[in-house]
Each structure stands twice: as C-alpha cells, then as structure tokens.
Chain A
Amino acid sequence: MTAPETTPTAIAAAIALGDDALVLSHRLGEWAGHAPVLEEEVALANIALDLLGQARVLLSLAGDEDELAYLREERAFRNVQLVEQPNGDFAHTIARQLYFSTYQRLMYGRLAAADAGDLSGLAAKAVKEVAYHQDHAEQWTLRLGDGTAESHERMQRACQALWRFTGELFQPVEGLDIDWHELEADWLTSVTALLERATLTVPDGPRSGAWSAGAGRQGLHTESFGRMLAEMQHLHRSHPGATW
C-alpha cells in the first residue's frame, strides 16, 4: 500500500498551520528559565512542546521538517503575525496565548469533526492539546484581569496591543474547508465572554490593518521575526548538510 499523495492545497495548509505552531513554540521556548513561578516553567514548556509536535507533523506532511524550519527565509514563512510577536511581559504572552489557542481550538475542533483529509489524524490529536492550552490561557486571563490593579492594567494593555493581529486569523487558508466567518464569530463570542468575566474591556480598535490583514499568510512579517529566525537557524545553516 502506498501512502496517499498529499495534494498541493493540503501542503499549503500544512505549511500555514505548521508555521504557526513552530513560531509560537519558539517564542514560548524563550521563556525557559524566566517564568514567574516554577509551575509556569512546566506549563509554558509543555505548551511549547505540544506546538512543536504539531509543527513537526504538519511540516513533515509538506516535506522535510528541518529543511522547512531552518532553510526558508522569512518571506517564505506563512505563519500569522500574531504568533511571531515578542513575548513581552507575562500578560502579553498570556493574551497572545488566549487569542491563538481559542482560534486553534475552534479550528481543530472543526477539522477533527469533518473529514480533513491529510490533516484528520493531526486534528484529532491536536484538539485535545489545544483544549488544555486554551484552559491555561483562560485561567491566567481571569487571574490577571481580576487580580490586582497592576495585573489588570497589564492584562488590559496586552489585550489591546495584540488585538490588531487577530483579524488575520480568519483569512481563509487554502486547502482548509472551513466556514471562516462562522469561525470568526465563534472566536469573538468566546474571547468577548472570557474578557468580560476577567473584568477586562474588550478592545475597540481595528482587528487588522493594511499590514496585518493576511500579511503573515502571504509571507509579509513584522520586523522582530527576522531576528527570531536568525537565532533559530544560525547553527543549522552554519553546518550545511550535517545531521544532528
């Protein structure tokens, strides 16, 4: 029996979702040794590992995982700009997690329920992982939003700062048969309800601009991303053809 061929559109989808997971995993990896409490060292690393696992499966559907991760330049990456945003303070990281894990859970939930072709196996596994990620982000959003005056202020600022990167999450991804309008409506409902429970104000600015409306998916990234890739790729690129 031969494995079914991966279609070009499935490859495009695997790269987009794989890049999201790869890049966010990398950002979370930067927290190692810097977390506010030991339990968060464990939790953030745990989430980073889940995402890296997803990235490896997805990129392997599209080609060689290491070639794709280490030898593409930033214009060839298809991740959304949200996941490449620097960690900032803990609130900033949690806001990014809240926005992204809610998106991933709604999306993988749909892919797991429908016949998602090549992505079915991954979706079934990922949906369980991202449920945990979302729960973690929600619990911290509640604690920070409804904690002290300082944590409330920081969480509000973080939610506001990242809001403009959330519209891009719902730009249709080629190869994924999803009702993106419905996904976006469900995301807004879920995030709004949670922010309100956390005594936070739902940000009121635009959810995308000229530069973030689908730009990451087209290979147009924000400035810090190139520096992130330089760090990630330098060793691999310094030893062409080596195995590790």
Chain B
Amino acid sequence: MTAVTADTQEAYQAVFDAAVAADERIEPRDWMPEAYRASLVRQIAQHAHSEIIGMQPEANWITRAPSLRRKAILMAKVQDEAGHGLYLYSAAETLGVSRDELLDKLHSGRQKYSSIFNYPTLTWADVGAIGWLVDGAAITNQVPLCRCSYGPYARAMVRVCKEESFHQRQGYEALLALSRGTPEQHAMAQDAVNRWWWPSLMMFGPPDDESAHSAQSMAWKIKRHSNDELRQRFVDICVPQAEALGLTLPDPDLRWNEERGHYDFGAIDWTEFWEVLKGNGPCNEQRISQRRRAHEEGAWVREAAAAYAAKHEQRGRREEHGQREEHDRQAEHGEATA
C-alpha cells in the first residue's frame, strides 16, 4: 500500500470538486472527501430510519381501517415504506457502512429519524393527513434529491419519489372523502389537519440561519435548496390544495403576499421542534421502544436464518465437491459427454 501524499490528496480533491461543479455524479468507487462520505451516511441513514419508524403511526390504523379498499391502500403503503427503507440502507451501504451498524445506531439513539413520526395518529383522518401533508413535505424535500451529487442516493430517490407521489394522492383523496362526508367525518378531517400542519412544516428542518449542515451540503450539491426555500414552496402548494379540500389551515397569519409572490405564514414553534428532536416529543419513547422490541424479539429468527444458511452452504459445498469427484471419475472412464 502506498501512502497518499499531500499532493495526491490535493489532486483527488480537485477531481472531486470538478465533478461536483460539472454536475457529474459521484459513484461508490470514486474518491470523496471523508466529510462528504460522513455527511451522506448521516443523511441517508436518517432517511432510511424515517421510513422504518414512519411505518408505525400508519400501521397503527391497519387493523381499524374503515373499508376494505382503504385497508388495502394502507397496507400497500406501509409495505412500500419498508421497501424504501431497504433501498436507502442499500444506498448507505455503498458508502462502507452496514445495515446492522446503522440499525444499531438508530436503536441506541445515536442516529435520528424525522421528528414528524413522534406525533400520534389519533383518528382515521390522521392517515389521510399524513398522506397529504407528511408525504407532501417529504416529496418537496426529496424531488431535488433526485439530482443529488451522490449517484446511489439520487437513483434511490427517483424510485422513492414515484411511489411517494402515489401515496400522497391517495392520502389527499382519503381526506377529500372525509371532508365531503358526514359532519362527523368532516370534523375528523379538520382536526387531523389542525394537528399535522405545523409538525409538517417542521419537517424541512430548522431555519436557514440555525441549520448546521446546510451550507456544506449545498456546496457539495447533496442539497439543492435551503430549508426555508423548500418550506415556502410547500406552503405555496398546500394553500390551494386545502381550499380544494374544503379544509382550513390552522394559521391566522397565513395570507397571500402580492409583493413576494408567496404566502406569508405564522411563526413556527421552534421550542417544540427542538424538544421533539431531543427525544421529548409525544411518541419518541414509544416509537424507539417498539423498533427495539421488534429487533430484539426477532433476534432468534435472524439467528435461525443464519444458522440454516451456514449449514446449507456447507452441505452445498460438500455436494458440489461430490459432484466434481463424480464428474472427474466419469471423465476418466470416458463417460462424460461434451
């Protein structure tokens, strides 16, 4: 192994910088700065964890879904989320970490997941509100990630976004059915939107001047837009959608600003945001305990699969060996045909 001199390090860095500047994709075997690798591992892992933890608030309603059609849609959605988690762990693994290692960090609280999943799903309408608002915010965040500088992450995002858009439309449609349903259903929908609106705006992260990773991520073209830009884009999209739904958004300061060409909106409760992030949200403890429990209670199943695979592989090798000997024997006796 040759030592990397300062000169070669600089040369590698120059190639990397040029690739990023030219909007080329960085691939797993390319040289990349350690901080770029670490930042991507953090972001992709957090994204994967969010898919996995995000299954819980919705799965909470699978057994109570009010029609078989809605039940099928919800089951398919939760299944897709597990699939997205799998793509994203694979993308993270191209950076030299293992899924087990990342899960371990999730379970021990050393890596985070989206703060939104620490809120409870209290009524059926929450499932619709999550589809519309939470998936909507996720899509607003993720569509620009399809052009992220790291190839495997960008490609995972293309697949994830297609499925997410589908879920979002289904969530919107579920909410529309409630809003146009009985007065009780309408009230249920409005209550859900009231509870999910602000947490959804928090999904874009802290304001730009308090976002620790933003500037560097944008320079590396991992991120393409700032938190506040994306949040504004989301609000602008949601207001007319809420009108079409016949539901209001719980913000008295929300109004169109002709000059800016955007909606102005009220102040986010950043104290709540930081509390939830620190682990003090309504469901933090419950979400992580359930995840840990599923993992721990499943340990014997994973051990069984590994033990079986090991035995089977040994047997396979013995059989292969036996077949080879038989083949050699036949060849010696001129029995083998071409």
Contact = CB atoms under 8 A, between A and B. Distances in A.
Given A45-B75, A146-B308, A231-B63, A37 B298 contact: yes
B311 interface: yes
A232 interface: yes
A223 interface: no
Interface of B: 52, 55-56, 59, 62-72, 75-76, 78-79, 82-83, 85-86, 89, 124, 174, 177-178, 181-182, 184-185, 290, 293-295, 297-309, 311
Given A45-B75, A239-B184, A90 B67 contact: no
10 contacts: A22-B68, A32-B55, A32-B59, A42-B86, A45-B79, A56-B68, A143-B304, A147-B306, A239-B182, A243-B67
Contacts of A49: 72, 75-76, 79
Contacts of B290: 33-34
B177 A244 contact: yes
Nearest to A89: B297
Interface stretch (A129-137, A148-156, A182-190, A207-215): A148-156
A38 B68 contact: no
B248 to A, nearest CB: 22
A232 B68 contact: no
A192 interface: no
Contacts of B294: 33-36
Given A32-B75, A39-B86, A242-B182, A151 B304 contact: yes
B55 A53 contact: no
B301 A244 contact: no
Of A40, A41, A56, chain B has the most CB atoms within 10 Å of the CB of A41
Nearest to B295: A36
A231 B177 CA distance: 22
Interface in A220-244: 231-232, 234-236, 239, 241-244
B66 A38 contact: no
Query: Which 3 A-B residue pairs are closest in the complex by CB-CB distance?
Result: A36-B298, A147-B304, A151-B304
Interface of A: 22, 26, 29-30, 32-42, 45-46, 48-49, 52-53, 55-56, 59, 65-66, 69-70, 89-90, 142-144, 146-148, 150-151, 154, 231-232, 234-236, 239, 241-244
Nearest to B61: A235
Contacts of A29: 62-63, 71, 75
A26 B71 CA distance: 9
A244 B303 contact: no
B12 to A, nearest CB: 35
A42 B68 contact: no
A34 B296 CA distance: 10
A77 to B, nearest CB: 15
B301 A90 contact: yes
B308 A142 contact: yes
A147 B79 contact: no
A33 B304 contact: no
Nearest to A32: B59
A48 B64 contact: no
A180 B72 CA distance: 32
A236 B66 contact: yes
| Residue of B75, B177, B178, B299 with highest tally of chain A CB at under 10 A | B75
A242 to B, nearest CB: 5
B52 A151 contact: no
Indicate the member of B76, B181, B295, B300 with the most A CB atoms within 10 Å.
B300
A150 B62 CA distance: 31
A146 B304 CA distance: 8
A142 B312 CA distance: 11
A155 to B, nearest CB: 8
A33 B67 contact: no
A55 B68 contact: yes
Q: Which of A38, A46, A154, A239 has the most CB of B within 10 A?
A: A38
A138 to B, nearest CB: 13
Nearest to A147: B304
A41 B82 contact: yes
